[in-house]
Structures are given as C-alpha cells and as structure tokens.
Structure 1
Amino acid sequence: MKTLFLQPPSFDGFDGGAGSRYQARREIKSFWFPTWLAQPAALLPDSTLIDAPPAKLTLDDVLVHADTHQLLVIHTSTPSFGNDVKVAEAFKARNPALLVGFIGAKVAVQPEESLARAKVLDFVCGNEFDFTIKEIAEGKPLAEVQGIWWRAAAGQLTKNEDRPLLLDMDELPFVVDVYAKHLRIEDYFIGYLKHPYISIYTGRGCKSHCTFCLWPQTVGGHKYRTRSVGNVIAEIKRAKELFPQVEEFMFDDDTFTDNLPRAEEIAIELGKLGVTWSCNAKANVPYKTLKVLKENGLRLLLVGYESGNQQILHNIKKGMRIEVAKQFTADCHKLGIKIHGTFIVGLPGEDQNTLKETIAFAKEINPHTIQVSLAAPYPGTFLYNQAVKEGWLDIEHAELIDEHGVQIAPLHYPHLSHEEIFASVETMYRQFYFRPSKILSILNEMMRSRQMLVRRLREGVEFFAFLKERNAKPMAAE
C-alpha cells in the first residue's frame, strides 16, 4: 500500500517530534527531526513522510495526499492525541477506504482506550513499530501482524501477540536518506545546537529507571540496544554526502554515554571525519572519557540534572549524586565542553525550599544554557501511576498542554499548588539568565558571531513573547 507517514498540522510552533518527551510549544521555537516516523518510512522506499509543523503546512495542504495513499500512519502523543484524531477523521472523510493507524507512546500504553475513543482508527501499535508498519503496508492481514490492537469488521477490538523488541539494530536502514527525500533540514533548529543540524539514533532503550521518563517505560525498554560502530559511522558519512551544509550532528539516544567504551570508539571514528557532534549524557561521565570525546569533535552534552535536591533525585530514581554531577560539570567546563542542562520543577517532594535549592544549584554549576520543564505525568510512566494513587493528579483534568499548545502544571501537592509550580518556571529562567556574568557571556558569544547575534536576538524576542502569552493564560489545570 502507498503509505503516508504524517506528523499532523498543529499549534504554531508545536514540536510533535520532541526527542524524548514534552510534545509542546516551547519558550523558544524549536523542532526535532521526526525520526520515529522516518525509521519505518526508510523500510518502505515508496512511502511519503510529511512533518507539517516545521514546514508550516495546514490541514488543507496535507489533505490532498488522502487521494493518493492507501495507508495513513500518524505519530501521536498524549498532548496531541485529540488534534491528531481530528486530522485522521478529515483524511478518512476524504478517502473512506484509507487504512489509518497511530504509533507512539500514547497508543502503546492505552491501545484499547485510544481505539474506543477514536472510531476513525483501524489499528494502533505498541512497542517498536518499524517492522509492524512494514508488514501492514505489504498487505499482511491485521490478524497476523504482531504488536497491534486493531478493529475488526464487526467493530470488536482485538489484541495480537506482542512484537519482541528489535535486538539487531543494524537491521534498520538509514534515516538520513528519508530526511533528504522528504524534509528540508533548515526547517529544524534547536536553541543549543548549531544550524543546520541533523539528529539520529545510534541505539534505543535506557537502562535507567527515572520515574518520569517516557520512552524507556513505554516503547523503548530498559535495555540499551545499539547499532554497530561501523553502521553509525557509515550513516554519518552518508549524511555528509547528502547534506554538506550540516554544522552539527546530534545523537538523540536516551543516554549515548550508557556504554562508555562504545561512545569512545564512535568518537574516535567521528574525529577522523572531522565532524562536530553532540549527544545526551548522564552527569557521571568520567574525565578520561570526556577528554576522548572532546578531542574527537564533541561540542555539547545535553544533560538531565532535573533537580538540585538529592532527596528529589532519590524520589524519581534518577540514580545521580549531586556531588558527582558537580564534578562532572566542572570537568566539562575545564575541557571546554558546553552543556545544555535540563531541569524539571514540580517533581515528587518539591516545595518552595527545593525550588530555591535547584535554582541555586543551576547557578552554581552554570551550564551554558538551560531548559526548565514542568513535571509531566505521562500515562504509562511510574510517575503517572504514583500521582493518581497519591492524589497529586486529578485524572479527569490531566491535560499536559493548554488550548494553545503551552505546557501546564497538572501536578499539585498539599504544600505546593499548580500555580506555584507553574510560576517557578519563569522564576528559574529569570534568576539563571538575568545575572551579570551570564548576560556578559551571551553578549560575548553574540559579538564573536553575526549568525549567533541574529539567532540570540530572535530567540530573545520569542522568549519574552512566549512569557507574555503564558502569563496571560490560566496557570494550570483546575
């Protein structure tokens, strides 16, 4: 079947392909590559991939493809599900014979509920869905396809046998060829990465058990399954041929540094290619490994610190010691490795004192840039189940974004309200960035590069416009 892989039109600036979670509008507009759609698309060379939000495509723009395709596959999420269903309904209304399926963590953990709520859906996928979609597109009867829930002709919902996780990751074809065929890479930008950039996965899964993290608890699993070093390097070589304009490669594995010897081996090969690259990392990589990575093209590490309070880190099973994180960060500063630090406010155990502690911690370790998110209890995570059980989340009002795609604060505690958690995001941003030393650092960065000057000015305008809009709306779920 002629297959259309679609990231649907949504709110202006809505990033449905967010690397690990937090599908939402951000303070500064950014877009991740739709790798979760590109990977199954790579298995079907005649398929089409459309990522509507970064391409600024409307429903009318994409709806014409209903006439020329027989299978529609939409990547959905808990925040975007309602909108995605409306898009699917529009496609089905235009082409009633169209087979429609959803992929993503939302339907993987709530398959029966999703099918019941969205009559337009013929099937939903669980776990990894690459070869699942390939089999469906090739005409295999739904009753025989592993890893799906589906709607039979009589309307009954049926669960098939689960599909085992893919262990040989080299079986997957390169996604960069799909990027080249269907996407304009200049449409994708992240505030802390060089532009244009490309992101790929060199493996799936994460051995950590952080209670809030979406992919390992839903579709990726806790076993870090990796591509061979040669396979990764071959894709980077291919990407260089296809995109000579790329300034940076981002490895979006949940934690690229889970396997230190492999990370070093890949780095050494990347060094031979002379490319600039970045990756996700835990705040515990030893100095020796950091030095090898830096000497072979590493520019930046994306590090999830989450909180500056040790008890909160224990509460979320982060497996990180504050003192270790401080030493790691100092080592990165010494080696000249930039850090984009991510923090989450409103996690279990949070109060006004821990919020202050996290702000002080962020200022002390001083990453180059930060991202502050609201604790988001996604269905399928330990945090979601815990929040429902403890009464921190009103399940009838558990929305993660508002009607404009902006993240809200769904969690609340007896000692900390929705409003206090919501307001702490802006407080942390202001206290971190509005310091003389940080302002001077940003100005120096802008003075050294005209491109960075234009970029930071644009981001500044977006940031303040976002805060103004954010503060004009309800602070949280009622």
Structure 2
Amino acid sequence: MTLRTLFLQAPSFDGYDGGAGARYQMKREVRSFWYPTWLAQPAALVEGSRLIDAPAHDQTWEDIAHEMDDKELVVLHTSTPSFGQDVRTANLIKARNPKAMIGFIGAKAAVESAKVLEATPAIDFVARNEFDFTILDIANGMKLADVEGISYRAEDGSIIHNKDRAVIEDMDSLPFVSPIYKRDLQIEKYFGGYLRHPYVSFYTGRGCKSRCTFCLWPQTVGGHNYRTRSIGHVIEEVKYVLKEMPEIKEIFFDDDTLTDNGKRTEELAIELGKLGFGKPGFPISWSCNAKANVPYETLKVLKENGLRLLLVGYESGNQKILHNIKKGLRVDVARQFTKDCHELGIVIHGTFILGLPGETLETIEETIEYAKEINPHTIQVSLAAPYPGTFLYKQAVENDWFDGTDHLLTDGGTQIAQLSYPHLPAAVIFDKVEEFYKRFYFRPRKIGAIVGEMVRDWDMMKRRLREGVEFFDFLRKRKAAA
C-alpha cells in the first residue's frame, strides 16, 4: 500500500518568491511565483499524492493544517533562506499528527543533511541529491535503512547516512509534471514579470555543464552533466499543455541552460514549429534560459519556431569578474549575442549580480554602463549570495568575506548583502543595487519602450502599472531594511 503522501511548499514570508523552481527564495523587485517543479516531479511518481504550494496560494498554516491529519508521509522542500520557517512547519505537523513521517528535500538537505536533522526531532529523514525515486521508495513502504540517498534518524535518535543514490540517466523515466500542476495548483497564481500570463514551466533536462561558482543547483543536486529527455517525450508534454491547459500563453523550459546543446535546442524548436509555434495567429510562445553565447544561426531557428524570450545570466560587464566566477563567457561574445537577439526580435530578460569576487566601485560602474549599452528588455539585479554547498561559499568563508551564517534574508524576505570586502563593504554593495535599477529603467529610451508596450496591450498596461507600484514598494522596503 502506498503511503498517503503530501508534498508541501510551506507557508513563508509575505511576498515569497520561489525563484527559479523554488531554488532561490526571496522578495524580488516585482512579485512573482515559480512552479514548485521539484516537488511536482516526485508527486507525479507517487500514486494518490497531493501537492500544496502554500506561498503562491496565500495559504497560512491555519489554512492547510487539516490536510496533515490523515497523511502518513509529508515531504517539504527547504532552502537556506526558508529553513527556519520550514522547521517550524515540521514541528507543527508532528504536533498535530505524530504518526506522520516527515522528510526534507532540496539543496539545503543535500549538503547539510546532519545539520537539517539536528534542527528538530520532527524531521525523520532528508533526501540527498536527486530525490524523485528516493521518495517513491519511501512512499511505497521501503524501510528507511534500505533506501539509497537518504540520511535518517534511527529509533535511538542517532543519525544514519545511507549510501548515495545514482543520478537519473533515463530522464524519460520521469512522468510529466504538468498534470500535477493542473490537478493541485491554481495556474493563474503563477506569474513572472517577463513571462506572458498565464504560463507553465517544466524541465526538458537536468544539470548544467557550466561551472559558475555561485550557482547552487548544479553544485548540489543537478550536477554538471546535462541529462536530457528525448525530444519526443518533451513534445508529448507540450501537447498535453496545449490540450488540457488551453489558457496557457507561454511555456518556459526551465533547464539551467537549455541552449547548452545547440543542436538539440534547434531540433526541439523545429518540432515545436510543427505544432504551430511561431505561426501567425498561434496563441502560445515559448521561452527558456540561455547562456549569452548562442550563435546567430541557432537563434534564428529558435525565433522562427516560436521563441519569444531568453532569460540570460550576464552577471557582470567586467571580464575579470566573469573569469573569477568561472562563467566561461566573454563580454564581447555576450555583446554580439545580445545584438543578434535584438535584430531577430528576441526579447531578453537579463540578470546581473553585484558583489562577486573582484568587485570594486569601478567594476560596478562598468556593469551598469554595460547593461545600459546592451539594453535587455528587463533586468534583475541580485546581491552575490554564498549558498552552502557552492564554491563561492567555501571561498568566502576562507577569505573572511562573511561569517558563514545561513542568514541570507531579512525576516521579511529582503536579500541581505552578505559578502563584504576590505575595499568594498556590504552596505555599499547593497545600495548599488537600487542605483543600478534606477539608472537602467529611468532613461527616456527605456521608459518610452515600456510605455509603448503598455499602449499596445491593455493587459500589459494593467500589469506594468501593478509592477510599477511593486517596484517602488520594493525599493522602499530595501531602504528600510538597510
């Protein structure tokens, strides 16, 4: 008998943003919610399970507490920023239903399994690394002692670490997540400032071959080997979305860097084109993460087959910093890539990070001017965050750039500048984020482009006005948190 299983994204701070598939939790400049894909995937494997994403649905503990009463297994996704709240939720679950087995998954659990278990006796086990089939084994009644890839609390209270589970090589062995979204989630609750609404996102593969020192998921759970689903398997899920979720206006492929395999990306695009993507009158577009080095010929194929937007991690406009973080990207290549996207009509949401190793006031200025020059449609500016398990964390602790604590956010969810250098204190880096946003967006050219977009589309008009209010509120709260 399969255990009655609940997958839970626990209630969190007001304005929680799950960020990139629940990987980077914080308040952002514009309110958004990402699908809890990493919970939906094992939920799709476990028969009769249920998924609750409390933050996106504005649910408090009181709203969901009754859901725990008959559950035999509750699986919570946790992260460094959300861990304290997740522990409190685990304690509440165990107090209400002492018989429920509670497990934690996510990067925090993967790299600090003992520390997670030691936080509270309410947590019975943590699943390390990839956890889909790990959770399936437990839900199917396998004894914890026999389950690969977990650390668990024995009856005597001791912590036992079982052997690692092999990573999944046959990605087609994983079922679709979209039916779980449709079954358990309110699709309209999920939105992003740069994606058409409503949207849906899922992965066509896991892992990223890049070695960026700050990036959490490849260094903790996904790995650096890009393992992909077959094109046919992906297309079948797209067909499911088209048939069963007709309200969807955009599909976002959430692979760390879909364009790492250019030939495969072109093949996927061509198959999407056969479904109607990119054709006049077809109501759905698609978008994905990309590295700023995709050649023009590939971009052209993607655009012709329905690509609307690329989410691009530029990080910095300074070449030395890109070398320091092992980005594997040249500034001049990124500049030409962006020019090619503009020429083809591909929209770019560019992400930048301030405070990375090697940062100075001069490099921050260089990055701001670079962002204005290449002019992506929208941007996100973050503070360098040393997540446990990353090379950046190890580097920062060894060099006394920060004290190694888990406190990456204020209690209200606003990101804190953790890294501080002798020549560039954290407070200065924190203030430069607001300056970056203002100097990028408060330009006649950018204001004109945004106003023009609003005038052409009434839905966009309402959306941008709402986002404008949120943006200024975000800046106000950042200043208060400083």
The secondary structure found in structure 2 opposite 1:180 is helix
Contact 1:205 1:220 in 2 (8 A): yes
1:41-75 CA-partner distances (Å, limit 9, x unpaired)? 00013000000011011101111111121100000
Query: For residues 132 and 82 of structure 1, what CA distance do their matches in structure 2 show?
Result: 24
Which residue identity lines up with residue 235 of structure 2 in the other structure?
I
1:242-283 CA-partner distances (Å, limit 9, x unpaired)? 110100000000000011111000001111212410000000
Contact 1:20 1:254 in 2 (8 A): no
- Equivalent position to 2:386, from 366, 373, 377: 377
- Equivalent position to 2:47, from 45, 48, 51: 45
The residue number in structure 2 matching 1:179 is: 181
The residue number in structure 1 matching 2:454 is: 446
Shift of 1:29: 0.4
- Equivalent position to 2:336, from 304, 324, 327: 327
Contact 1:400 1:407 in 2 (8 A): yes
Shift of 1:335: 0.3
1:121-172 CA-partner distances (Å, limit 9, x unpaired)? 1000111000000000010000000000000000010000100000000000
Contact 2:74 2:100 in 1 (8 A): yes
Shift of 1:15: 2.0
1:452-473 CA-partner distances (Å, limit 9, x unpaired)? 0000000000110111111112
Query: For residues 308 and 19 of structure 1, what CA distance do their matches in structure 2 show?
Result: 26
1:420-462 CA-partner distances (Å, limit 9, x unpaired)? 0101110000000000000000000000000000000000001
1:350-405 CA-partner distances (Å, limit 9, x unpaired)? 0100000000000000000000000000000000000000000112x441100101
Contact 1:63 1:91 in 2 (8 A): yes
The secondary structure found in structure 1 opposite 2:256 is coil
| TM-score of the pair, normalised by structure 1 | 0.98
Query: For residues 170 and 153 of structure 2, what CA distance do their matches in structure 1 show?
Result: 31
The secondary structure found in structure 2 opposite 1:220 is coil
- Percent identity among equivalent residues? 64
The secondary structure found in structure 2 opposite 1:54 is coil
- Once structures 1 and 2 are overlaid, which stretch shifts more, 374-383 or 10-19? 10-19
The residue number in structure 2 matching 1:288 is: 297
Contact 2:286 2:306 in 1 (8 A): yes
Query: For residues 377 and 274 of structure 1, what CA distance do their matches in structure 2 show?
Result: 43
The residue number in structure 2 matching 1:301 is: 310
> Are positions 1:363 and 2:372 aligned together?
yes
The secondary structure found in structure 2 opposite 1:304 is strand
The secondary structure found in structure 1 opposite 2:55 is helix
Structure 1 residues 347 and 17: CA distance shift in structure 2, 3 A: closer
Shift of 1:18: 3.2
- Equivalent position to 1:310, from 319, 323, 347: 319
Shift of 1:120: 1.1
Contact 1:309 1:354 in 2 (8 A): yes
Query: For residues 134 and 12 of structure 2, what CA distance do their matches in structure 1 show?
Result: 26
Contact 2:87 2:119 in 1 (8 A): no
Query: For residues 50-129 of structure 1, what are the structure 2 equivalents within 5 Å?
Result: 50-129=52-131
> Are positions 1:35 and 2:40 aligned together?
no
Contact 1:315 1:349 in 2 (8 A): yes
Shift of 1:17: 5.5
Contact 1:28 1:462 in 2 (8 A): yes
Which residue identity lines up with residue 414 of structure 1 in the other structure?
P
- Equivalent position to 1:3, from 5, 30, 38: 5
The runs of at least 4 consecutive aligned structure 1 residues that moved more than 4 Å come to none
Count of matched residue pairs: 473
Shift of 1:113: 1.1
Which residue identity lines up with residue 375 of structure 1 in the other structure?
A
- Equivalent position to 1:392, from 401, 406, 431: 401
Query: For residues 264 and 311 of structure 2, what CA distance do their matches in structure 1 show?
Result: 18
Query: For residues 155-234 of structure 1, what are the structure 2 equivalents within 5 Å?
Result: 155-234=157-236
- Once structures 1 and 2 are overlaid, which stretch shifts more, 22-31 or 185-194? 22-31
Shift of 1:25: 1.2
Contact 1:16 1:80 in 2 (8 A): no
Contact 1:108 1:126 in 2 (8 A): yes
The secondary structure found in structure 2 opposite 1:392 is coil
Contact 1:249 1:278 in 2 (8 A): yes
Query: For residues 104 and 15 of structure 1, what CA distance do their matches in structure 2 show?
Result: 16
Shift of 1:20: 7.0
The residue number in structure 2 matching 1:424 is: 432
The residue number in structure 2 matching 1:406 is: 414
Which residue identity lines up with residue 287 of structure 2 in the other structure?
S
The secondary structure found in structure 1 opposite 2:21 is coil
Contact 2:216 2:387 in 1 (8 A): yes
Where does structure 2 lack aligned partners over 5 or more consecutive residues? Answer: 278-284
The residue number in structure 2 matching 1:469 is: 477
The secondary structure found in structure 2 opposite 1:65 is helix
The residue number in structure 1 matching 2:132 is: 130
- Equivalent position to 2:349, from 329, 337, 340: 340
The residue number in structure 2 matching 1:270 is: 272
Structure 1 residues 257 and 350: CA distance shift in structure 2, 3 A: same
Where does structure 1 lack aligned partners over 5 or more consecutive residues? Answer: none
Query: For residues 152 and 20 of structure 1, what CA distance do their matches in structure 2 show?
Result: 29
Query: For residues 249 and 142 of structure 1, what CA distance do their matches in structure 2 show?
Result: 38
The secondary structure found in structure 2 opposite 1:283 is coil
Shift of 1:82: 0.5
> Are positions 1:237 and 2:221 aligned together?
no
Query: For residues 467 and 54 of structure 1, what CA distance do their matches in structure 2 show?
Result: 22
Query: For residues 427 and 276 of structure 2, what CA distance do their matches in structure 1 show?
Result: 48
The secondary structure found in structure 2 opposite 1:53 is coil
The residue number in structure 1 matching 2:280 is: none
1:199-246 CA-partner distances (Å, limit 9, x unpaired)? 000000000100000000000000000000000000000111111010
Shift of 1:173: 0.2
The secondary structure found in structure 1 opposite 2:429 is helix
The secondary structure found in structure 2 opposite 1:472 is helix
Contact 2:145 2:162 in 1 (8 A): yes
Query: For residues 124 and 352 of structure 1, what CA distance do their matches in structure 2 show?
Result: 42
The secondary structure found in structure 1 opposite 2:350 is strand
1:305-354 CA-partner distances (Å, limit 9, x unpaired)? 00000000000000000000000000000000000000000000001000
Contact 1:313 1:320 in 2 (8 A): yes
- C-alpha RMSD of matched pairs (Å): 0.8
Query: For residues 421 and 247 of structure 1, what CA distance do their matches in structure 2 show?
Result: 37
